Amino acid sequence: MAKEKSKTFTAPSKSAFNQQGEKATFAFGKNNYKLMLIGIAMVAVGMLLMIGGASEDTNTFSEDIFNFQRLTLAPIIIIAGYVVVLLAILKKPKE
């Protein structure tokens, strides 16, 4: 009878080193994450600026939905927030 070789599998280690023995790093640097949080906060502020303008009485029309804050300022802040997030993703982290 032939002997069967036992197959053993080892779970990957949870160390902070990759296969070449180098220390593993994050995809982004500390400044990149800060810029991303700033951009996400800008988008959230822009969304909050769009809230409101509803009429208290459903039979009357409220002109408050067409003011500068909701129509111009909030979309500009949201787009600026997306640009900041994009720049945070594209910026090369310092080594």
- Residue pair 20/65 in contact (Cβ under 8 Å)? The answer is no
Q: How confident is the model at residue 64 (pLDDT cuts 50, 70, 90)?
A: confident
pTM score = 0.71
What integer pLDDT is reported at residue 11 of this predicted model? 60
The pLDDT, as a whole number, for residue 13 is 57
Of the two residues 54 and 41, the one the predictor is more confident about is 41
Give SS3 for 42: helix
- Asked whether residue 80 carries a pLDDT value surpassing 60, the answer given is yes
| DSSP type of residue 22 | P
